[in-house]
Amino acid sequence: MIIPAYNDSECIADTVRSLADSGHPIEIIVVDDGSTDGTAEIAAALDLPNVTVLTQRNSRPCGRWASSSS
32, β-bridge pairs: 5, 55
Q: Per-residue confidence at 70, pLDDT binned at 50, 70, 90?
A: very low
Residues 38-50: tens digit of each pLDDT: 999 999 999 999 9
Query: Rounded to two decimals, what is the model's pTM?
Result: 0.80
Question: Residue 57 has what pLDDT?
Answer: 85
Task: Decide if pLDDT at 13 tops 50.
Answer: yes
